[in-house]
């Protein structure tokens, strides 16, 4: 199978649901990811970026894990990040020497934050998914699996969310899947099976992954990947459709409770509870707390709709402006891009553009989002046509308008603006 890149809308509305039993069963889409969108070297380049950041003492979001067999070896992480770099084409023997084993597995989370090429290349896939299928409220992450391991270090395990496993090669990979019903029937539980699971393979659906393939893995499907004695790299693009209850419990409601039950309004120690008569027992104390709780919950109830709207808008705009990838404050590539921006060069005649997959999204007269970051600025110069031009990746030559240049200067702090100064000789110099 091959198709246009990124997949068009009909892929998501017709081909995809028809091939996956309405998005509930695994399916291997053959050869849909071109090598210029994502390749194995891009993953190794991401590891190189992590090594440079480690040497510079820069803290960032991406994290690596090393496995030998099914054993996790955190003591090797520092070695992987500090050891003299591998020679060109010799990554496998380099890793084997560090791991002290012939077979190894290297896992990198949030790879999109250290690989601009993969953020853009697979971001095109993610953007088409958003337009054709929908937007996961928690965004997405890239998780790389590199190695020559016999089987996934986690054994046969259950997937928590929908994901696409994009295989970059150079070797092939066997991937086995089981429905939850089949897995429980075979094993008696939903616990992972580690070690010897050969007896399960004949009951699983086997997919042969070659470079450029994308395997759709629905949530709650059990799976394991197996190499064929060769090195290869795959990148999982996860879709974080967090449960609504979790979003409310961990994000929205705690903020509201903190605001409504803010002790600092009564001084640094808060308003003390009253002393209660010993002979009255615990009932008066319980009644005092209950009355306060009812009052607080009544206040929260009145603020709930606006608080949820504000939270979701910030989450939505941050994610969409970040190309669909989950926004993280210590995104290494964003930090480096922001550091390279030179506000003093935002002058008439300079050229600006927005790199893929990031998007400028204007949400109000004084607020815009770019590369996962909210920016407070006068957005009146950011007309819909200008925003569309920038979001298409088209370079824009800055005019003499001071208002527009002020907005661009503010947006540049996000790392989402590429700036090229005007190199045309001035009349005076001529």
pLDDT tens per residue, range 171-192: 999 999 999 999 999 999 999 9
198 with 126, same domain: the answer is yes
Whether 301 and 360 map to the same domain: the answer is no
Residue 363 in domain? yes
Q: What is the pTM of this model?
A: 0.91
Distance of CA 287 to the CA centre of its chain: 46
Structure tokens at 122: 């697979």
Within a domain: 4:
no
Report which of 165, 203, 162 is spatially closest to residue 33, judged by C-alpha positions: 165
Note whether residue 266 is domain-resident. yes
Which of 239, 263, 279 finishes a domain?
239
Say if 101 falls within a structural domain.
yes
Same-domain status, 98 and 59: yes
| Number of domains within the chain | 3
**Within this chain, do residues 288 and 347 fall inside the same structural domain, yes or no?**
no
Q: Is 106 exposed, middle or buried (0-12, 13-18, 19+ CB in 10 A)?
A: buried
Per-residue pLDDT at 273:
87
Q: What percent of the chain is helix, strand and coil (3-state, nearest 5)?
A: 40, 20, 40
**End position of a domain, from candidates 321, 347, 367:** 321
**Does residue 55 sit in the same domain as residue 107?**
yes
Same domain (yes/no): 179, 217: yes
Same domain, 185 and 38: yes
Is 366 part of any domain?
yes
Query: In this structure, are 197 and 128 located in the same domain?
Result: yes
* Whether 25 and 79 share a structural domain: yes
Domain assignment present for residue 247? The answer is: no
Q: Which domain-ending residue is among 300, 321, 342?
A: 321
CB distance 168 to 115 below 8 Å = no
Per-residue pLDDT of the chain (430 residues; tens, 9 = 90+): 546 899 999 999 999 999 999 999 999 999 999 999 999 999 999 999 999 999 999 999 999 999 999 999 999 999 999 999 999 999 999 999 999 999 999 999 999 999 999 999 999 999 999 999 999 999 999 999 999 988 888 999 999 999 999 999 999 999 999 999 999 999 999 999 999 999 999 999 999 999 999 999 999 999 999 976 789 999 999 999 999 999 999 999 999 999 888 877 666 567 788 889 999 999 999 999 999 999 999 999 999 999 999 999 999 999 999 999 999 999 999 999 999 999 999 999 999 999 999 999 999 999 999 999 999 999 999 999 999 999 999 999 999 989 999 999 999 999 999 999 987 765 544 4
**Length, in residues, of the chain:** 430
Q: What is the pLDDT of residue 266?
A: 64
Collapsed DSSP state (helix, strand, coil) of residue 64: strand
236 and 143 in contact (C-beta within 8 Å)?
Answer: yes
**Strand 105-109 to 140-147 pairing:** antiparallel
Tell whether the torsion through CA atoms of 344, 346, 347 and 350 is positive or negative: positive
Please give the backbone phi and psi of residue 297, each rounded to the nearest 5 degrees, phi first. -70, -35
Same domain, 166 and 265: no
Rounded Cα distance between 321 and 359, Å, is 4
User: Does 142 share its domain with 65?
Assistant: yes
Residue 102 has φ and ψ, to the nearest 5°, of -70, -35
Residue 427 lies in a domain: no
For residue 185, the 8-state DSSP code is: H
Residue numbers of the domain that contains 206:
9-239
Is residue 3 in a domain? no
CB 382, CB 412: distance < 8 Å = no
Residue 258 and residue 222 share a domain: no
């Amino acid at each position: 199978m091959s198709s246009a890149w990124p997949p068009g809308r009909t892929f998501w509305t017709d081909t995809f649901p028809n091939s996956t039993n309405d998005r509930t069963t695994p399916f291997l889409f053959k050869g849909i990811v071109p090598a210029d969108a994502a390749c194995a070297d891009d993953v190794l380049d991401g590891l190189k970026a992590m090594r440079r950041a480690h040497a510079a003492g820069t803290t960032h979001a991406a994290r690596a894990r090393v496995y030998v067999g099914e054993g996790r070896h955190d003591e090797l992480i520092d070695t992987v990040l500090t050891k003299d770099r591998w020679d060109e084409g010799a990554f496998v023997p380099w890793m084997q020497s560090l791991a002290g084993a012939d077979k190894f597995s290297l896992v990198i989370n949030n790879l999109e934050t250290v690989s601009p090429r993969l953020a853009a290349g697979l971001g095109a896939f993610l953007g088409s998914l958003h337009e054709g299928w929908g937007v996961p409220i928690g965004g997405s992450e890239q998780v790389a699996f590199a190695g020559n391991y016999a089987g996934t270090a986690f054994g046969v395990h259950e997937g928590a969310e929908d994901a696409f496993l994009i295989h970059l090669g150079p070797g092939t990979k066997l991937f086995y899947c089981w429905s939850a019903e089949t897995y429980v029937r075979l094993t008696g539980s939903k616990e992972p099976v580690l070690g010897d699971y050969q007896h399960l393979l004949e009951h699983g659906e086997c997919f042969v992954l070659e470079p450029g393939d994308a395997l759709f893995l629905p949530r709650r499907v059990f799976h394991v990947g197996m190499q064929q004695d060769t090195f290869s790299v795959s990148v999982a693009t996860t879709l974080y459709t967090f449960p609504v209850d979790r979003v409310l419990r961990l994000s929205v409601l705690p903020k509201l409770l903190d605001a409504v039950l803010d002790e600092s309004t009564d001084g640094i120690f808060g308003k003390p509870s009253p002393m209660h008569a010993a002979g009255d027992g615990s009932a008066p104390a319980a009644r005092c707390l209950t009355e306060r709780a009812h009052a607080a919950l009544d206040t929260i109830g009145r603020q709930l709709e606006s608080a949820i709207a504000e939270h979701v808008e910030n989450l939505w705009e941050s994610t969409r402006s970040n190309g669909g990838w989950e926004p993280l404050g210590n995104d290494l590539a964003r930090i480096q891009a922001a550091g390279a921006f030179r506000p003093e060069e935002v002058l008439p005649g300079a050229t600006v553009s927005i790199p893929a997959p990031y998007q400028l999204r204007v949400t109000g007269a004084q607020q815009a989002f770019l590369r996962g970051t909210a920016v407070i600025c006068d957005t009146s110069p950011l007309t819909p046509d200008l925003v569309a031009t920038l979001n298409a990746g088209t370079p824009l030559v800055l005019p003499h308008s001071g208002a527009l240049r002020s907005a661009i200067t503010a947006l540049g702090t996000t790392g989402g603006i590429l700036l090229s100064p005007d190199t045309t000789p001035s009349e005076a110099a001529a």
